[in-house]
Each structure stands twice: as C-alpha cells, then as structure tokens.
Amino acid sequence: MSFRKVNIVILMLAVILFLLVLHHNFLGLSSLLRKEVSDSGFLGLEPIDFVPDAPSHAVDGKQEEIPVVIASSEDRLGGAIAAINSIQHNTRSSVIFYIVTLNNTADHLRSWLSSGPLKNIRYKILNFDTKLLEGKVKEDPDQVESMKPLTFARFYLPILVPNAEKAIYMDDDVIVQGDILALYHTPLKPGHAAAFSEDCDSASTKVVIRGAGNQYNYIGYLDYKKERIRKLSMKASTCSFNPGVFVANLTEWKRQNITNQLEKWMKLNVEEGLYSRTLAGSITTPPLLIVFYQQHSNIDPMWNVRHLGSSAGKRYSPQFVKAAKLLHWNGHFKPWGRTASYTDIWEKWYIPDPTGKFSLIRRHTELSNIK
C-alpha cells in the first residue's frame, strides 16, 4: 500500500513539474511574441508613443482609417503641427498620424500635440535611428539634405505603418486645404506601389520653372555620364516627379521589396556618385526615380501645388492658391522662416509652441527689435 502511495505522489509531482515547465515556456513564448509585435527597434524605427482615442466625429466603425506619415526634425516641428492641424480640420474621416522624428524630440512633440486643438488626434511617434542609413548616405556639404536623416524616412513606409494596406506620405512644409480622403482614394494601377505628382504635368511646375533647364526631367537628377545609369535605358527626357507628397500601396511595396531596391541605389550612389552634380531637387528623389521609372500612378496635381518656397515672391493668383487642395513650400523659403510667400495662409493653421522652443522668424519682428 505504502509503495503504491509513493508512486502516486511521485506521479503527481511529475505532473506538477510538467505543468510548471509548460507554463514557463508559454510565458516565454508570449513575451517573445509581444516583443516581436511591439518592438521594431532592430530596424531603427521604434514606437515611442501612441494615443488611440479618436475624435468624436471619427468614431464611426464603417469609416476607413487613413494613415498619414510625416517626418519632422525639432527645428521644423512647427511645420508638422500646422500640416496636421490643417488635415484634421478639413476632413471628417478617421486619420491616424505617424510622426517620425529623432528620439530627443519626442517629449517636445508630445507636449505640443497635447495642447489645444490637437489634443484629441490619434497619433504615433516613431524614432528614426540614424544607424539605419550607415553606408547608404554620403555627407556632402553642397547637399544639405545629405545630413538630414529624416528625409529618408519615406523609404521605410511598410515598417512605419506595418498593418496598413495604403498610406499617405507628406513633407512637413505643406498645408492641406481639401479632404485628405480624396487623396487617399487616388486610384493606383495594378502593379504600381505609389502615385506621385509629375513635374511636367503640374500646373504649379509650369508656372515656376518653365525655361529653367532640366529641373523637371530625369537628367536633372541623374548623371547620364555614368555607365550604370546608361545601362538602365531610362530616357533622360522622362518627366520627373515630386516625392514630397505621395500615396503608397504598401501591399505592393512589400511584394516588390521597394525599400530594398531604394537602399541598393543609395549604396551604389555612395560608391559611384550616380546623382547629377547639379541636383535639381531633393536628394531622396534620384533613387525613387530609378525604382519607379514608368512604374507609378499619378495624383491630381492640385494635391501637390508646390514651389511656394522657391522664392519669397508670390507666383500664383489668390484664386489658384485658394483652389489648391494641398500647398507645398518646398524650397529654401519656409513659411515659418524670415521671408516666404503666402505666410498668412500657413499661419492660419499654425499652433504656437506651448514650450516656447519653436518660434516664427519674421522680418517685421526683427525690424521692430532694431528700432
């Protein structure tokens, strides 16, 4: 009898030990899965903050959620704030903002977003690890953007917005005057991973750079003297496009490994210098032009009325500016800077920084200080 009892006790202890081991393994697996889902730091894009509460008008479960990605450094945060405010005000759709910045900017951005009109928006702050660009970008004093890592965030959209089928990317120097839902519903042709606004077809481009050389063609961005570029058989006269605003089909983007393709051309440029020495625009444009050559759809040109920052003067009529769905201050003259055009329109959407770190630079302010 006692022998049987001993066997039963041993059996029960074995079962208990087995259950404890199973429980421990389950917890380990669960922890691993949670880390896999929440921590994308190995790719240099680590979530910092997320506010899931939607504004009251966007609670309708039938609505599509529109992911909008904006990258902004601390010295340009005012631009991102104004862009976000203009988007939120002009749509009744459910928008979630993915704001890409550097780690030391997160607290500043969070305090700004939690104040006033933007306190109810849905957003996610993502840290961009500059190590992601090692070996892919060569610092060039003549190209200021080569030393601004956030300009390359747009190359990593599927990592930034991992669960979305589509997303909108836009620069931080824009103001949206139309309903972002219309841009989100831009039709993309089968097999196309993105839709851009082409420079040749843009009403704004014709006004600004007509007769100014090759700023709207591939030859303005790529060095056709290089054999590697010539072997691609891309016509130098092909119309370029502006990557400051675009709609991406992320399913197609991942299927075609667009990010890997872009990184490949970044590395080759570091090794061989493939970009034009008189680069017509952003340093991020050349690899996009190569990867998306004759493989992109078009957005309505009124959704990227640009070159507002190419000079301090006003190039468009008030009627044209009012009709634009999106205004883009690409160029040196930013609307928060000392000299810019249409600053009155931009300031309508600007929200002052509660911390006081960011302030508008205005010529009349400087003159009053001199007096």
- pTM for this prediction: 0.81
pLDDT of the residue at 144 = 61
On whether the CB atoms of residues 199 and 216 are closer than 8 A, the answer is yes
Q: Cα 45 vs. chain centroid, distance in angstroms?
A: 12
The predicted pLDDT at position 9 comes to 63
Q: What is the mean pLDDT of residues 126-131?
A: 91
Q: Is the pLDDT of residue 37 over 50?
A: no
List, in order, residues 6 or more apart from 307 with CB less than 8 Å away: 204, 205, 207, 208, 209, 315, 328, 330, 331
Domains of the chain: 66-348 (3.90.550.10)
Torsion of CA 189, 191, 197, 199, to 10 degrees: -110
283-311 residue pLDDT tens: 999 999 999 999 999 999 999 999 898 87
What is the pLDDT at residue 87? 98
Could you give the percent of the chain with pLDDT greater than 70? 74
- pLDDT of 241 > 80? The answer is yes
pLDDT of 113 = 96
pLDDT-based confidence at residue 143 (cuts at 50, 70, 90): low
Q: Could you read off the pLDDT of 75-117 as tens digits, one per residue?
A: 999 999 999 999 999 999 999 999 999 988 999 999 999 988 9
The DSSP line for 113-159 is HTSGGGTT-EEEEEEE-GGGGTTT---BTTBGGGG-GGGGGGGGHHH
Q: For the segment 204-230, what is each residue's pLDDT rounded down to a tens digit? A: 555 444 444 457 899 999 999 999 999
**Residues near 113 by beta carbon (within 8 Å), at least 6 away in sequence:** 51, 81, 84, 119, 121, 123
